[in-house]
Amino acid sequence: MSQTHAHGAEPPVQPFESVVIRFAGDSGDGMQITGNQFTHTSAVIGNDLATFPDYPAEIRAPAGTRPGVSGFQVRFSSSDIHTPGDQPDVLVAMNPAALIVNIKDLRPGGIVVVNTGQFTDGDLKKAALNTNPLTDGSLKGFRVIEIDINKRVTEALKSTSLSSKEVQRCKNFYTLGLMYWLYNRPVETTMKWLDEKFAKKPELAEANKLAMQAGYNAGDIHEFFQGRYEVLPCTSMPKGEYRNIMGNDATALGLVAGAQLANLQLFLGSYPITPASGILEALAAYKHFGVITFQAEDEIAAICSALGSAYAGCLGLTTTSGPGMALKTEAMGLAVSVELPLVIVDVQRGGPSTGLPTKTEQADLLQAIFGRNGEAPIPVLAASTPSDAFDCAVEACRIAVQYMTPVILLTDGYIANGAEPWKLPEIKDLKPFPAKFQESVPEGGFLPYSRNEFNARPWAKPGTPGLEHRIGGIEKAHLTGHISYDPENHEFMCKMRQQKVMGIRETIPTPPVLGDSTGDVLVLGWGSTRGAITSAVEELRKKGKKVSALHLRHMWPLPKGLENIFANFRAVLVPEMNLGQLVRVLRSEYTQHNFISYPKIQGQPFRTSELTKKIESILEK
Amino acid sequence: MADSQVLTKKDFKSDQDVRWCPGCGDYAILNCVQGVMATLGIPRHQLCFVSGIGCSSRFPYYMNSYGFHTIHGRAPAFATGIKTANPNLSVWLVTGDGDGLSIGGNHMAHILRRNVDVKILLFNNEIYGLTKGQFSPTSPQGIKTKTSPMGSVDRPFDPVSFALGCGATFVARTIDTHQKHMEQVLLAAAHHKGSAFVEIYQNCVIFNDGAFDKVAEKTVRDDKTVDLRPGQPMVFGKNHDKGIKIDGWEPVVCSAAEAQTWRSDTHSPGPAFVMSQMDSNPELPRPIGIFRDVSAPTFDEGIQQQIQKAQAARGKGSLEKLIHSGETWTVS
């Protein structure tokens, strides 16, 4: 692309280590696409990055209103980062509602780019504003860049045959172009994406390209900014090949990989639910891997079909979010009873009930570990970042197949929709765990409820001659699997199932401590709080504080050796996006230690600053 | 090997004691199904019986085949998973009026709509047996039970009408005490490719004894039922002297000579639906036999074909390629 400079000299390019941009607009303004494109381009030029999409549950809330505001925050950096940042450096606000909802987060002195074309009296009224924030002094302390994007896009696209409505839908690419100019990034990646996206409507691809180009050129021509900035590629990340990945996509890839490592066909039974649908959508495109995706009539049919497929010899899989987990509960109990491999992915969102469908939360932990009728132990894993979801999905498959058990994998909305660079694994480093089917009648006859070294029962799939047997949810006699109401047998079987699941800890590592193994405060996290905890602990350690962090992946059973780690700290701080669920488990499992709960339940991830403040307050005690 | 031998009814009996109440209609159905399996000659290891919860759902334990006794109402979802995962299996689903039409009505609707190649036997006794005698969604209105001491207010629905409304490609009805008829219907169901729904009138001797006596009792059966045989005139009566014809929009009794020829394969399920609603008119005989039998692509085949098509077009997926897909960059 040619870069014209109408006003002579190149503006100066100033380097920055790390920048946070938040794109905010109406939920129909395409802010998620804009953010994702900026992220993708930044990934391709080699920045480390983290994203935080934050959008309403309504597809299109009334236009211009505060509830309809959709935001996408991206942080890109030349050094290792762990979070999308506490405060944006730049806010792009497409209308008054987007401005007023987000301005409180902008760092003092930060840049706010405002689309003045959307600041009529009517627009202000829709945003419930009595005065215009552009003139009433409320933007004091920020660098305000006012651009009538509506008008500029209309001008840029006047040669096209698009309707004025279609023209206005290209506004987001104008802002994207402007941000590409400001941070000195190439437009080619997005150009290519537009060509692919609108392959069947080339006029729309062309229009969006024109809008983006206009935004880019505007940076040069109009001198909105005193200069341009640069964030160099991050070279401190471990060497290797990377790609940008979102959590739901990484989960889907991990499940495909897990099924391959188990040498099994993957069968997904699922019912669309926010924010988990992305996994179903991703896996539906992997039919050439033999993946069967079944969009069931409801959440219950989804898990039941998956468990049926497991009986027939597939790796069963179901994916959902909180309300769907509640519906699947009975079938999970059956999976415990019939002991078949089944992976249940719960992309947690704000609850209870419908709760906050598009916001993140970690409040399904106790449901995952304990929430079933009867003694129904199920191993539980939790992914901590978008790319970690890949590894956790593989691990969930391993446990399911090796132990003939349902396994719950917890992610959350923050992981599902967030993105980060993923250091691609070497396929040869992924250790296979091939499923072993019972294929012939063993000496002495086939016993469907006999046990191997993992206490797992044999898996004989229908179609195998001589191994015909019946399974079901009624208590089974040890070894034969026949219906049994015998009191001693029931106790034996309950203990056996418990013992089998607790035995998994023999195959899981003690997680490493970040920082020194002794100190004042150990910050113990799980799930998506990892980024914020790591940032906070690194920051405090630089100040010489005796703070370390430990992050759990295996939530149940808990790994061995934790008590020895806890013993080396004065206090163990447990931040969670719930009212204190892990801390309850810890207090019952490790009665000797001082656990301090730090709950946050706002549908928003922890900020690094919140954690440093909390840790410092404990250090002062 | 069992599959190289000629199979007999006995080969399909499991080693478990059958624990239904003495005199339960389920025994007759079990006996008939075991006979049909021997006739069909399906190897035992290719056979999978799936059930939900209820008296009828104990069925898989008594079949010497693969079997999965699942949870209440959800058997259609399990059967869909099993059949889709392995289309070579012959999958049979056993359910009741409560399991299949009350708690599991949703799943029943969807397995029929999708035309999953599963044979569905719905034992209708118009009562909840395993929970000891409460009214079911097929119980006649006004029935007095423990939970309806003044008579139930619920209107029942007709299982055959339900199945037809779901777009089922094979729908039939038979009677537990009519072994020969049941055998013919089950064989036809087995030979149908796609979902086959068979309602079986089944007498619960404990909680709803004689529910079907008015039409199914052996001495009145010939006069009170009409057997729908595709391509045959709708003749009934002990002396084969009466018939059914459609007069305008309504079925009416006529002479045997005037009896209309039954077709189960009309484009519209309308005629079958009209026949299924004869139940509500006590003047008319109750239709049994094959209401509908049409061919349509099956769900399990469709899924397998898409996988084959994807693999033919893109080659079998490579994990290496998949992980490295999209734009990547190298940190060195």
The ipTM is 0.97
A23 membership: H or E segment, kind and range = strand A18-26
Count up the domains in chain A and report the number: 3
**A69 and A212 housed in the same domain:** yes
Identify the domain boundary among A388, A403, A429.
A429
Q: Tell me which residue has tokens 């709803």.
A: B208
| CB-closest option in A291, A309, A472 to B70 | A472
Q: Hey, is the C-beta of B104 within 8 angstroms of any chain A C-beta?
A: no
Query: Locate tokens 């090997």: which residue?
Result: B1
Residues of chain A found within 8 Å of residue B16, distances taken between Cβ atoms: 482-483
| Chain B, window 47-86: residues with a beta carbon less than 8 angstroms from a chain A beta carbon | 47-48, 50, 60-61, 63-71, 74, 76-82, 84-86
Give whole-number Cα distances, B49 to A387, B27, B69, B202, in Å: 42, 16, 8, 19
What's the pLDDT score for residue B4? 54
DSSP state of A156: H
CA distance A197 to A170: 14
Is residue A181 domain-shared with residue A310, that is, in the same domain? no
Do B103 and B140 contact (CB within 8 A), yes or no?
Answer: no
Residue A353: name the closest of A308, A323, A388 by CA: A323
Q: Is A474 contained in some domain?
A: no
Confidence of residue A2 (pLDDT cuts 50, 70, 90): very low
For residue A614, pLDDT beyond 50: yes
For B46, name the nearest residue in chain A, comparing CA atoms only.
Answer: A463
Most A CBs within 10 Å, among B328, B330, B332, to test the A interface:
B328
What is the Cβ-side half-sphere exposure of residue B57, based on CA atoms within 13 angstroms?
28
The reported pLDDT for the residue numbered A1 is 32
- CA–CA dist A605, A583 (Å, integer): 18
Note whether A325 and A393 are same-domain residues.
Answer: yes
**Largest interatomic CA distance in chain A:** 91
Give the model's confidence band at A10: pLDDT under 50 very low, under 70 low, under 90 confident, else very high.
low
Burial class (CB in 10 A: 0-12, 13-18, 19+), B41: exposed
Compare CB distances from A313 to B44, B86, B106 and report the shortest one's residue: B86
Sheet hosting strand A419-423, strand order edge to edge: A419-423, A240-246, B328-331
Tokens encoding B171: 């729908």
Q: Is the dihedral of CA B142, B144, B150, B156 positive or negative?
A: negative
Contacts of A243 in chain B (CB under 8 A): 324, 326-329
**CA-based nearest distance A238→chain B, Å:** 7
pLDDT at residue number A5: 42
DSSP run (H or E) holding A93: strand A90-93
Residue B320, chain A, CB below 8 Å: the answer is yes
Q: Are B50 and B95 in contact (CB under 8 A)?
A: no
For the domain that residue A271 is a member of, what is the CATH number? 3.40.50.970
Residue A620, C-beta contacts closer than 8 angstroms, at least 6 positions apart: none
Whether residue B163 lies within 8 A of chain A, CB to CB, comes out as: no
Question: Are A280 and A301 within one domain?
Answer: yes
Q: Is A544 on the interface with B (CB under 8 A)?
A: no
Look at residue A456 and tell me if it is in a domain: no
User: Closest approach of chain B CAs to the CA of A296, in angstroms?
Assistant: 8
Nearest CA in chain B to A257: B319
What residues have CB less than 8 Å from A136, skipping those under 6 apart?
none
Q: How many CB atoms lie within 10 A of CB B281?
A: 12
pLDDT band at A408 (very low <50, low <70, confident <90, very high): very high
Residues of A in contact with B65 (CB under 8 A): 468
If one counts every other C-beta atom within 10 angstroms of the C-beta of residue A135, the result is 9
Please report whether residue A8 resides in a domain: no
Q: Which of residues 256-295 of A touch B (CB under 8 A)?
A: 256-257, 260, 265, 267, 269, 286-292, 294
Subunit contact A304:B77, Cβ cutoff 8 A: yes
The 8 Å CB, 24+ separation contacts for A434-443 are A434/A261, A434/A262, A434/A263, A435/A262, A435/A263, A435/A264, A435/A315, A435/A341, A435/A401, A435/A459, A437/A313, A437/A461, A437/A464, A438/A464, A438/A467, A439/A464, A440/A466, A440/A467, A441/A466, A441/A467
**Percentage helix, strand, coil, to 5, in chain A?**
40, 20, 40
Helix (H) or strand (E) holding A419: strand A419-423
Chain A positions touching B321 (Cβ under 8 A) are: none
Query: Does residue A125 form part of some domain?
Result: yes
pLDDT confidence bin for A4, thresholds 50/70/90: very low
Q: Is residue A123 situated within a structural domain? A: yes
Domains of chain B: 9-211+297-304 (3.40.50.970)
Same domain for A138 and A164, yes or no, is yes
Question: What is the rounded CA–CA span in Å between residue A158 and residue A461?
Answer: 65
Are A202 and A284 in the same domain?
no
**Model pTM?**
0.94
B42: closest chain A residue by CA: A463
Q: What is the CATH number of the domain that holds A527?
A: 3.40.50.920
A563 contact partners, CB below 8 Å, separation of at least 6: A590, A592, A593
- Judged by CB atoms closer than 8 Å, whether chains meet at B80 and A294 is answered as yes
Facing residues of B235 across strands? B243
A374 touching chain B per CB within 8 A = no
Q: Are residues A389 and A343 in the same domain?
A: yes
Query: Which residues of chain A neighbour B77 with C-beta distances below 8 Å?
Result: 269, 296-297, 300-302, 304-305, 308
Closest CA to B64 of B2, B133, B117: B2
* Bridge partners, A100 (sequence order): none
Same domain membership, residue A396 and residue A256: yes
Partners of A304 on chain B (C-beta within 8 Å) are: 70-71, 74, 77-78, 81, 107
Domain boundary among A230, A260, A289: A230
φ, ψ of residue B293 to 5 degrees: the values are -155, 95
User: Do A288 and B61 lie within an 8 Å CB cutoff?
Assistant: no
Q: Could you give the dihedral angle defined by the CA atoms of residues B139, B144, B147 and B153, in that order, rounded to the nearest 10 degrees?
A: 60
The pLDDT score that the predictor gives to residue B155 is 96
Please give, rounded to a whole number of angstroms, the shortest distance from the CA of B265 to a CA of chain A. Answer: 28
Residue A589 C-alpha, separation from nearest chain B C-alpha, in angstroms: 33
pLDDT in tens, A247-283: 999 999 999 999 999 999 999 999 999 999 999 999 9
CB nearest B81 (choices: A312, A424, A465) = A312
Based on the domain organization, do A526 and A591 belong to the same domain? yes
Interface probe for A, chosen from B16, B42, B78, B166 (most Cβ of A below 10 Å), is: B78
Whether A169 and A253 share a structural domain? no
Which amino acid type is present at position A425? P
- Which of A185, A188, A234, A289 is best to mutate for the B interface (most B CBs within 10 A)? A289
**Residue A615 placed within a domain:** yes
- Residue A234: closest C-alpha in chain B: B331
User: pLDDT at position A9, please?
Assistant: 57
Q: Is residue A3 scored above 50 in pLDDT?
A: no
In-domain check, residue A3? no
Residues A196, A336 share a domain: no
> What are the start-end ranges of the H helices in A312-406?
322-338, 365-370, 388-403
Last residue of a domain, one of A406, A429, A452: A429
Residues of A in contact with B82 (CB under 8 A): 308-309, 311-312, 462
Asked if A473 and B69 come within 8 Å (Cβ–Cβ), the reply is yes
Q: Tokens 């409180």 label which residue?
A: A104
Listed residue (A296, A301, A261) closest to A280, CA to CA: A296
Asked if A301 is an interface residue toward chain B (Cβ–Cβ < 8 A), one would say: yes
Specify burial of residue B231 (Cβ count, 10 A radius: 0-12, 13-18, 19+).
exposed
Q: What local confidence, expressed as pLDDT, does residue B316 receive?
A: 92
Cβ within 8 Å, pair A287-B86: no
Contact predicate A50/A418, CB 8 Å: yes
Q: What is the pLDDT of residues A46-60, one digit of tens each?
A: 999 999 998 888 877
Chain B, residues 259-318, CB within 8 A of chain A, namely 303, 306-307, 309-311, 313-317
CATH number of the domain residue A197 falls in: 3.40.920.10
Amino acid at the residue A500: K
* Mean per-residue pLDDT over chain A, rounded: 95
Hey, is B32 helix, strand or coil? helix
pLDDT in tens, A415-424: 999 999 999 9
Supply the pLDDT for residue B207. 95
A249 and A225 in a single domain? The answer is: no
Nearest chain A residue to B62 by CA: give it. A470
The Cα A112–Cα A109 span in angstroms is: 9
- For residue B183, CA distances in Å to A550, B30, B90, B286, B298 come to 66, 11, 17, 19, 24
Round to whole Å and give the CA distance between A234 and A306.
42
Helix axes A299-311, A322-338, angle to 10 degrees: 30
Please report, for residues A183, B195, B241, B267, B274, the alpha-carbon distance to residue B263 in angstroms, rounded to integers and kept in the order given.
Answer: 74, 19, 20, 10, 12
Which residues of chain B have a pLDDT value below 50?
A: 1-3
Q: Is residue A305 part of a domain?
A: yes
Domain span at A576 = 513-620
Half-sphere exposure of A242 (CA within 13 A, CB side): 27
A557 preceded by a cis bond (ω within 30 of 0): yes
